[in-house]
Amino acid sequence: MNLATFMEKITLVTHNKGKIAEANELAKRFDIEFVMSETSKKLEIQAENLSDVSEFAARNAFVVERGPLLIEDSGLFVKSLNGFPGVYSAQAFAQIGNAGILKLMEETKDRDAYFECALSFFDGKTMKTFVERVSGSIIFEEKGRYGFGYDPIFSPEGYNGKSFGEVQIAGKNGISHRSKAFEAFCKWYLDEKR
Ligand code: ITT
C-alpha cells in the first residue's frame, strides 16, 4: 500500500532557488509543495510598494501560466537610508551588493532595518496578497554562508548580532518575513479549499 502523503503543488514564479527552498521547508507541514515555473518570468514594474510589484507580476504571469500561481517580491528597507534599497532591492543588490550597502552606512550609527515580503496568489479571478516583515539591523561586516542576497548583513531582532547568513533555512524560517507570508498563505489556501 502506498502511504505517501498527497502533496498539493502550486506554481511559484521566481528564478530564485533560495526562495523556493525556504518556502518548501515551511510548507511541508501543510503538505504543500511550491514548484518553480519554467514557462513564465516575473515581470517587475517600478512601483512605490512591494505589493503593487507582486500583484502586477502575478497578473502578467497568469497570461502565460493559465493556472493558479504565486509571485513573491521582497526588499530590504534601511531606516537611515530613507528606506533604500526597498523596492529597488534587486537592482541595488546587482549593482552595489552587500559591500555597497555597508559602504553607504560606514558612518551611520542608526542601523535599523527590516525585510518585507509581499506574496501574491492569483488564479485568474482571486488576487490575494500577504505582506509580512521582520525587523532587525544592518551589521558592520558580512557574516555567514547560508541564505542569499542581503542575508549576510542583516541581523534580526533577538539574534544578538548574528546574521541571517549564519543560520540554516529552518532557523531563518522561525522568524523571517518570507516564512510568515508563506505560512499565512498556506493557512488561507487550505481554508479556501475546504
Ligand atoms: P525573483 O524576483 O525571481 O523572485 P529575486 O531574487 O530577484 O527573485 P526579489 O526581487 O524579491 O527576488 O528580491 C529583491 C532583492 O532582495 C534580491 O537581490 C534578493 O536577493 C534580496 N532578498 C529578497 N529576499 C531576501 C531574503 O530573505 N534575504 C536576503 N536577501 C533577500
Residue 134 sits in a domain of what CATH number?
3.90.950.10
Please indicate whether residue 24, judged by its CB atom, sits closer than 6 Å to ligand 1.
no
Q: Which atom of ligand 1 is nearest to the CA of 57?
A: 2
Residues 38, 46: contact at Cβ < 8 Å?
A: no
Residues 61, 92: contact at Cβ < 8 Å?
A: no
Q: Which of 52, 73, 123, 191 is catalytic?
A: 73
pLDDT digits (tens, 9 = 90+) for 108-130: 999 999 999 999 999 999 999 99
CA distances in angstroms from 15 to 22, 38, 96, 134, listed in the order given: 13, 9, 20, 23
Q: What is the model's pTM?
A: 0.96
Going by the DSSP 8-state scheme, the letter that residue 85 receives in this structure is B
pLDDT digits (tens, 9 = 90+) for 17-48: 999 999 999 999 999 999 999 787 899 999 99
111 CA distance to ligand 1 middle (Å): 20
Number of domains in the chain: 1
75 CA distance to ligand 1 middle (Å): 6
> What's the rounded Cα separation, in Å, for the pair 191 and 50?
25
Q: Domain range holding 120? A: 3-193
- Known active-site residue 73: yes
